[in-house]
Structure 1
Amino acid sequence: MIRVALDAMGGDLGPRIAFDGAVNILSRHQDVVITIYYSPHSNLDLPAPHERLSLIVCSDVIDGDEEIVLSLFRRRNSTLYQSLNALAQKSSDVVVTLGNTGAMVALARHILGVLRPKLYPALIRELYSNPLRCLVDLGANVHCPPSMLVGFAELGAAYVEALSDEVPKVGLLNVGVESSKGSVVIRETDRLLSDRAWPPYLGYAEGTELFEGEKNVIVCDGMVGNAVLKASEGLLSFLMGKLKGLDGTLSLFETFYQTERRHGACLVGVRGNLVKGHGCSDLAAMIGAIEYGIDIARADLYSAIETRLCNSAL
């Protein structure tokens, strides 16, 4: 059985989409059990009883705009803390949340621990699933020295190896491919990656290489990655809106948007499997985030990444 811990309180639309998403998933996956962590409020209709669905009431919720302060680590009865603690206690195989990204990263490091000292966890988003290509990082880390970016390259390469038959080919996002381009941090990261046998490094990548090209692991700091991702998603939504109603013209965009089953991002570098969905996720995106969590739990992703990182150090 794949055991999913679902934090129902992080999304903008409230716990209803978590309840409905869980029921949908259970109807299609007979080997999945789901535990939902939620905080009750008025007019909340709970899902019908199900033998593979458990509901855990929590008295605290970490809001999306809360800052990361020391008191966060003492809020043990928040839905996010409880779901991560279940993962740490091995009573679940994956956590799915739509909640506060900063709080999730901080609590995951605190409760689960990191895979390797001085290796910072990173958020990975699949830009395309067949063939697999991904972007690292999306906002878990904003100020990144070269050593941290090298760690992102390792995590991204291990992710590709764990979830596909593709050979990872790392590119470092930059303003150009010429050796003179980029900040001091980017140029030093380029030097460090060029001196390594693993992961395979192909040099700088420009923005035009995000969705196609030979490089399938694009590395950047979290601020750049988050801006790039949201700009891409915004452009897709804009084009779909403009082309809506034009016969046949929208089919390509609809196909790209609807056939990508996985939604959200995966936090890698900690001792557990985590999926972070958009705070504004609707029901379809909630279902996609849970599907993503099931996929990485089946692959035992964090263990596979840990093993690959250990082997690369030999």
Structure 2
Amino acid sequence: MIRVALDAMGGDLGPRIAFDGAVNILSRHQDVTITIYYSPNPGLDLPAPHDRLTLIACTDVIDADDEIVLSLFRRRNSTLYQSLNALAQKSSDVVVTLGNTGAMVALARHILGVVRPKLYPALIRELYSNPLRCLVDLGANVHCPPSMLVGFAELGSAYVEALSDEVPKVGLLNVGVESSKGSVVIKEADRLLSEKAWPTYLGYAEGTELFDGEKNVIVCDGMVGNAVLKASEGLLSFLMQKFKGMDGVSSLFETFYQTERRHGACLVGVRGNLVKGHGRSDLPAMVGAIEYGIDIARADLFSAMEARLCSEEVK
């Protein structure tokens, strides 16, 4: 049985999206149980009772604009804290949240711990699922020294090995592929990656290689990754609207959007399975984020990645 802990309070559209998403998932997966952490308020309609659905009321909610300060770690009655604590206590197999990214990363490190010292957790997004191709980091870390970028390459490679038969081939996102280009940080990260036996490093990657080419783990700092991801999503949405109603073209975009775009990102490098969905998620996106969580829980992603990363450390 896959046990999902669902933080219902982070999305822009309110907890109803999480409630409806949970009901949808339970109707299609007989081996899944869901525990929803929510904040009760007048007029909130709770989902109908279900033998595989548990509702836990919490007295605190971490808002999207809450700052990462010391008091955050004392907010034990918040929905996000309670859902992460369930994962730490092994009463759930995966956490799914649409909430504050910074708070999620900080609390996950605090409550779950990290896989390896000095290996910073990062957000991974699948650009394609078959063959698997991913981008790392998407915003968990903004100011990244070279050693952190090397860690992202290791995390992305372990992710690809755990979830597919693909051989991870790393590219470092840069303004060009020439050795003379890039910042001091990028050049040093390039040097460090070139000296490693694992993962396989193929050098710099340009933006044109995000969705095509042999490099299937694209590494960048969180500022760049977040901007790249949102620009790509924005362009796809724009083109879908632009060609809406046109025979063939519109359906092609819609098919790509529905089958290749995974809903949510995976926070890796912490001791547990964790999916972060987009704050603006509608019902299909909410369902997609939960499905993603179920997939990585079935694969026991955290354990597989931990074994790979720790084996590299001792070499």
* Pair in the same fold by TM > 0.5: yes
Q: Which moved more, 1:294-303 or 1:242-251?
A: 242-251
Contact kept? 1:176, 1:205, Cα under 8 Å: yes
Q: How many pairs align?
A: 314
Distance in structure 2 (CA, Å) of the matches to 1:258 and 1:221: 27
C-alpha distance after superposition, 1:31-73 (max 9, x if no partner): 0000000001121111110000000000000000111000000
Contact kept? 2:132, 2:166, Cα under 8 Å: yes
* 2:67 corresponds to: 67
* 2:7 corresponds to: 7
Contact kept? 2:127, 2:260, Cα under 8 Å: no
Task: Give, in angstroms, the shift of residue 312 of structure 1.
Answer: 1.4
C-alpha distance after superposition, 1:96-141 (max 9, x if no partner): 0000000000000000000000110000000010100000000000
Alignment of 1:289-300 (within 5 A): 289-300=289-300
Alignment of 1:27-38 (within 5 A): 27-38=27-38
Contact kept? 1:261, 1:291, Cα under 8 Å: no
Cα distance 1:290–1:261, how it changes in 2: closer, same or farther (>3 A)? Answer: farther
**Structure 2 letter corresponding to 1:262:** R
* 1:155 corresponds to: 155
Distance in structure 1 (CA, Å) of the matches to 2:228 and 2:171: 15
Runs of 4+ in 1 over 4 A off after TM superposition: none
Distance in structure 2 (CA, Å) of the matches to 1:299 and 1:246: 40
Task: Give, in angstroms, the shift of residue 225 of structure 1.
Answer: 0.1
C-alpha distance after superposition, 1:264-287 (max 9, x if no partner): 100000000000000000000000
Distance in structure 2 (CA, Å) of the matches to 1:260 and 1:13: 24
* 2:251 corresponds to: 251
C-alpha distance after superposition, 1:227-277 (max 9, x if no partner): 000000000011111111112221211110112373110000000000000
C-alpha distance after superposition, 1:139-182 (max 9, x if no partner): 00000000000000000000000000000000000000000100
* 1:214 corresponds to: 214
Distance in structure 2 (CA, Å) of the matches to 1:187 and 1:127: 25
Q: Tell me, which stretches of 5 or more residues in structure 1 are unaligned?
A: none
Contact kept? 1:262, 1:291, Cα under 8 Å: no
* 1:281 corresponds to: 281
Cα distance 1:234–1:174, how it changes in 2: closer, same or farther (>3 A)? Answer: same
* 2:232 corresponds to: 232
Distance in structure 1 (CA, Å) of the matches to 2:42 and 2:203: 55
**Structure 2 letter corresponding to 1:117:** P
* 1:104 corresponds to: 104
CA RMSD in angstroms comes to 0.7
**Structure 2 letter corresponding to 1:144:** C
- SS of the residue corresponding to residue 45 of structure 1 reads coil
Contact kept? 2:138, 2:223, Cα under 8 Å: yes
Distance in structure 1 (CA, Å) of the matches to 2:299 and 2:229: 25
Distance in structure 1 (CA, Å) of the matches to 2:158 and 2:14: 34
Distance in structure 2 (CA, Å) of the matches to 1:226 and 1:180: 25
* 1:129 corresponds to: 129
C-alpha distance after superposition, 1:191-238 (max 9, x if no partner): 000000001100000000000100000000000000000000000011
* 1:92 corresponds to: 92
Distance in structure 1 (CA, Å) of the matches to 2:38 and 2:139: 25
Alignment of 1:130-209 (within 5 A): 130-209=130-209
Contact kept? 1:35, 1:54, Cα under 8 Å: yes
**Structure 1 letter corresponding to 2:160:** V
What percentage of residue pairs aligned between the two structures are identical? 89
C-alpha distance after superposition, 1:67-86 (max 9, x if no partner): 10000000000000000000
**Structure 1 letter corresponding to 2:8:** A
Q: Tell me, which stretches of 5 or more residues in structure 2 are unaligned?
A: none
**Structure 2 letter corresponding to 1:227:** A
Cα distance 1:101–1:70, how it changes in 2: closer, same or farther (>3 A)? Answer: same
- SS of the residue corresponding to residue 250 of structure 1 reads helix
**Structure 2 letter corresponding to 1:291:** E
- SS of the residue corresponding to residue 158 of structure 1 reads helix
